[in-house]
Structure 1
Amino acid sequence: MGETKPSDTFRFAGFSLDLRRTVLRDGSGGEVALRPKSFDVLRHLVTNAGRLVTREELLATVWPGVFVADESVTGCVAEIRRVLNDDGRMLRTLPKRGYLLEVEVTQEADSARQAMTTGSSPSLDRPVGSEAVAQPLAPPTRASLVVLPFANLSGGPEQDYFADGITEELTTALSRVRWFFVIARNSAFTYKGRAVDVRQVGRELGVHYVIEGSVRRAGGRIRIIAQLTETETGHHVWADRFEGTLEDIFALQDQVVEAVAGAIEPSLEAAEIGRTASKPTESLDAYDLFLRGLSRAYRLTRQDSDAAHALFCQAVEIDPSFALAKAYSVGHRVNRKAQGWSGPEEWAEGTEWARELLDPHQADPGVLRLAAIAIVHLGKDHEASVEAAEWALARNSGSAQVLLSCAWVYVFACQPDKALPLFERAIRLSPHDPAMAFMLSGVALAHFVAGDLEAACHWAERVVRMRPVWLPGRRALIGALMLLGREEEAREAAAAMKSLVPPDCSLEDVIPPFRDKGIRDRYIAALRAAGVPG
């Protein structure tokens, strides 16, 4: 390919890459923040769209003559996917080979636009029968909204976790109000750090309203500023400022929730919001530790997982009645067990804590949904798990996280007919979720349990492309391939997985606790026949 002129602009997937100004713009013309090296990686991928680009080629192009770790490329690719709202279908990772940007690209040089490289346009798979997540989504009939990540104005990135915690608390509180359709936290956080056009957000997420705001924490004081915008017109419906002491943080959150609800739906009764709002703990130290743990729990590395586990435990140690911290601790232990990062002592304590949280009078569905998935994965108690899932769904079936956890419970109970509709609804509520791989690995296993191995293989392949380090996705793919008779592919996939598996990991411990022993035995046998360690 010839040398690119400085004035060239490349257009793809609703974005434009301006090489002369070195900026990436979205469909509305707004500038999208991107680190310089990530921009250089994207430039090389765009100018080579439709062609496999090896990791070595990227290193030589973007970091010529400099030795850098492979993680530098991985980090840039992750940032590119985040800003493009890509779940791994547009920018594909081909294990041990490189990267492939599958989009149609057009090039503008000065005033002349000419066709350039054309990759095969990706067919958008429809997740479990729903609209494809990459397509614009029509808002539901009831009031729908997303709480975008609140900006941290506290003077340092180390305080991001606090602003993120406020955002998550507001999302959770608003999702409990049955009049609202609330986009899940994880999809909302794909917009973090970006200058966004609320009209574009409305189209991408299918919502009527966007809530934006900021948090400033100084000493013992806190200020929350929030505004509500209508996505169709960009009209500001409401804005307000809330100030108080850190001791009043929960009251401040409740005030913001009430104000937003009142602006959207004047007929809402304040008593409904007051009934659903709850103060998670009297200890601000425990709450701070909980938020710090939450900020690490969403990252899928052993180091972050260990840190999150320790922080959750410290929060519970300070306040043993802090149910939400205890629930997130046991829920996080499920992921740790599935990755082979924990042992029997941790599972036994998690089972004990989960049993303490299993209460039909528990008002918080977020506590119940985590207890439900923990009691079956850590303690193999299917009956208690399904019962707790039903309690959680009865309290809030409009939360993507509740739907996701309960869908997993039904997978473990070998009831795929109940699991798949819940996964579908969770994906609709969180269509751009960075944790989409967790959802789709559940979809894959639901199809596996149902006996549809082709579908299981299809969804598991997507999971491995999205999150190669998520071992349940790799196991689902290997098991489905092996039972389909594609033994060579299964063994290749097992060999590619070996470096990710801890040396003391046992298959008997880490595979899903399927209620049907026949399904469980067949799954283990397939994995072992393919050469999966453990």
Structure 2
Amino acid sequence: MQGSRLAFGPFVLDASQGTLLRDDAPVALGHRGLKLLTALAGRPGEILGKAELMDAAWPGTAVEEGNLTVQIAQLRKLLGPAADGGDWIVTVPRVGYRFTGAVEPLGAAARKPVLAPGKPSIAVLPFVNLSNDPEQEAFTDGLTEDLITDLSKISGLFVIARNSAFAYKGKPMDVRGIAQDLGVRYLLEGSARRAAGRVRINAQLVDAVSADHLWAERFDRGLEDIFAVQDEVTGKIVEALLGRLRALPPRHRPRNPDAYDLCMRARRLIDDSPQSAREANLMLMRAVALDPDYAEPYRWMAMNRWMGWIHSGGPTESDRGAALELARKAVALAPDDAGCRWALAYLLTYERDFDEADAQFAKAVALDPNEPDTWAVLSDVAVLAGRVGEGLEHIRKAFRLNPFPASWYYLTLGQAQYAAGDYEAAVETLRRDETYRTSSRRFLAASLAQLGRLEEARAEVELFLVGNPHFTIGHWVAMEPFRDAATLEHFLDGFRKAGLPA
């Protein structure tokens, strides 16, 4: 039963969407609470041990039992009494907890289709790895990512981002359903096999409305020709969609295929955890040693250093300086790469070099208007500069290009909603399963405080400080690149009301 939509009493729990409804009205249920309620309601009447529940809510993390007690208490308060006047969740002393209600499984909720834009729109689905070697998965994923990057630079096309395309990796390919989910008309799908110094690629372009195959081709080339094949595939797609073959924008290519593989593998590790980020950094350093003129590893080393995961104590001043130097190196090597440009621009913003940062952002957008990460980080920059309406517009554009984004998109949206004074929307966003994590709780607490829900705000502050014991408002202000005093004071007002330490 676990993982389906579950109905009990006046509630409907949808774990896949991260929502709990009471009489069709949303209940503000946090990420941990959602995980615990899903585990308990998924096995009604059974006793679930404390260790099992802690693993469900904090997978792979060592936490104190008191955190579980706090979350269960909050769950009981949110659910209120059951029909018989008792608790939905009862304590089994020294063992765990049991869900007492009658639970009815429901069918999956239909996802609302997204309207396609008014120009040719395409998603590149993850290419299938046909090699017997699972190590080739990174190569196949890299091929998909490069095609997305190449197509997104073409003016006149609307291209769905990597995160959203990869949401369908390993799943059955229902072209009409996927196109409706993503709001596009065309899909590129294919497969790749790499062995003995050669690569075989099959690719086909499908019109999801008519189910017609607009173009299909098979390539069997030496591995050294892989980037020429990518250019050819991109050119054929552009010709099919826009009616003429265009000269493709320049792309900085690696000279060493092993450096390319290492970079692709490292990119998959950077956001997972501090340990995997450190592993990724070693891979990126090796890629640089193999191909010193390849820009991509410099870009990702810069972001890795800037996030402060190379050292367990977080980023130092030397980390920040090294990150900026690496980002400048990436742009010097690949001046036509939008990803390298926005990474440098973001780092420059946090160095308060606003004029150069704005210029770099403008170049990034000109090079690739379909890059959603650019729009997402521009939202953060605009909000801190007091241009809140512009920030909301940017993050909405990022979501349209990337409907299944990384969790930090939701944090950025919630921050913009708070800045706009839309506290209810901010609470809803920041409590979504996709974003409800330690770093978002400060904005969630501020939003709750502005709504007068001080008890909930205090609970979020308590949980936030467990993961960020050294946080102070003063240090946060020193770090964040605000350009607008009124916007800064608005955030400070919410933080103070919530009870965050000065």
TM-score normalised by L of structure 2: 0.76
In the alignment, what sits opposite 2:12?
50
Per the TM alignment, residue 382 of structure 1 is displaced from its structure 2 partner at its CA by 2.3
The alignment partner of 1:243 has SS state of: strand
Aligned residue runs from structure 1 range 352-391, under 5 A:
352-357=325-330, 362-377=335-350, 379-391=351-363
- AA in 2 matched with 1:246: L
* Residue from 196, 201, 206 that aligns with 2:173: 196
Q: In structure 2, do the counterparts of structure 1 residues 215 and 500 end up closer, same or farther at CA, with 3 Å as the change threshold?
A: farther
Aligned residue runs from structure 1 range 217-228, under 5 A:
217-228=194-205
* Residue from 87, 97, 104 that aligns with 2:75: 97
The alignment partner of 1:139 has SS state of: coil
Q: In structure 2, do the counterparts of structure 1 residues 59 and 497 end up closer, same or farther at CA, with 3 Å as the change threshold?
A: farther
Deviation digits for residues 171-202 of structure 1 (CA, Å, limit 9, x no counterpart): 01001011211111111111111102111112
- AA in 1 matched with 2:12: G
In the alignment, what sits opposite 1:479?
446
In the alignment, what sits opposite 2:212?
235
In the alignment, what sits opposite 1:514?
482
Q: In structure 2, do the counterparts of structure 1 residues 61 and 294 end up closer, same or farther at CA, with 3 Å as the change threshold?
A: farther
Per the TM alignment, residue 519 of structure 1 is displaced from its structure 2 partner at its CA by 4.1
Per the TM alignment, residue 368 of structure 1 is displaced from its structure 2 partner at its CA by 0.7
Residues matched between the structures, number: 440
Per the TM alignment, residue 360 of structure 1 is displaced from its structure 2 partner at its CA by 12
In the alignment, what sits opposite 2:456?
489
Contact 1:281-1:319 at 8 Å conserved across structures? yes
| Cα RMSD for the two superposed structures | 3.8
Deviation digits for residues 90-147 of structure 1 (CA, Å, limit 9, x no counterpart): xxx999639x9xxxxxxxxxxxxxxx9699x99xxxxxxxxxx952122223211100
Aligned residue runs from structure 1 range 27-426, under 5 A:
40-43=1-4, 45-46=5-6, 48=8, 50=12, 54=37, 57=40, 69-70=52-53, 73=56, 97=75, 134-269=111-246, 271=247, 273=248, 276-299=249-272, 301-336=273-308, 341-357=314-330, 362-377=335-350, 379-426=351-398
Q: In structure 2, do the counterparts of structure 1 residues 201 and 290 end up closer, same or farther at CA, with 3 Å as the change threshold?
A: same
- AA in 2 matched with 1:490: A
Aligned-partner Cα distance in 2 for 1:94–1:312: 43
Q: Which runs of 5+ in 1 are unaligned?
A: 1-39, 77-92, 101-115, 123-132
Q: In structure 2, do the counterparts of structure 1 residues 369 and 340 end up closer, same or farther at CA, with 3 Å as the change threshold?
A: farther
The alignment partner of 1:263 has SS state of: helix
Aligned-partner Cα distance in 1 for 2:369–2:51: 47
- AA in 2 matched with 1:499: V
Q: In structure 2, do the counterparts of structure 1 residues 440 and 56 end up closer, same or farther at CA, with 3 Å as the change threshold?
A: closer
Identity of aligned residues (%): 30
Contact 1:407-1:419 at 8 Å conserved across structures? yes
- Please identify, of 393-402 and 197-206, the stretch whose mean Cα deviation from structure 2 is larger: 393-402
Per the TM alignment, residue 238 of structure 1 is displaced from its structure 2 partner at its CA by 1.5
Q: In structure 2, do the counterparts of structure 1 residues 290 and 310 end up closer, same or farther at CA, with 3 Å as the change threshold?
A: same
Aligned-partner Cα distance in 1 for 2:373–2:435: 22
Aligned residue runs from structure 1 range 415-454, under 5 A:
415-431=387-403, 433-435=404-406, 437-449=407-419, 452-453=420-421
Contact 1:136-1:206 at 8 Å conserved across structures? yes
- AA in 2 matched with 1:178: S
Aligned-partner Cα distance in 1 for 2:295–2:465: 37
Aligned-partner Cα distance in 1 for 2:299–2:492: 29
Deviation digits for residues 54-97 of structure 1 (CA, Å, limit 9, x no counterpart): 35526856998899755764699xxxxxxxxxxxxxxxx99963
Q: In structure 2, do the counterparts of structure 1 residues 222 and 257 end up closer, same or farther at CA, with 3 Å as the change threshold?
A: same
Contact 1:382-1:515 at 8 Å conserved across structures? no
Per the TM alignment, residue 354 of structure 1 is displaced from its structure 2 partner at its CA by 2.8
TM-score normalised by L of structure 1: 0.72
In the alignment, what sits opposite 2:93?
none
In the alignment, what sits opposite 1:83?
none
- AA in 2 matched with 1:444: G
Per the TM alignment, residue 298 of structure 1 is displaced from its structure 2 partner at its CA by 4.5
Q: In structure 2, do the counterparts of structure 1 residues 258 and 367 end up closer, same or farther at CA, with 3 Å as the change threshold?
A: same
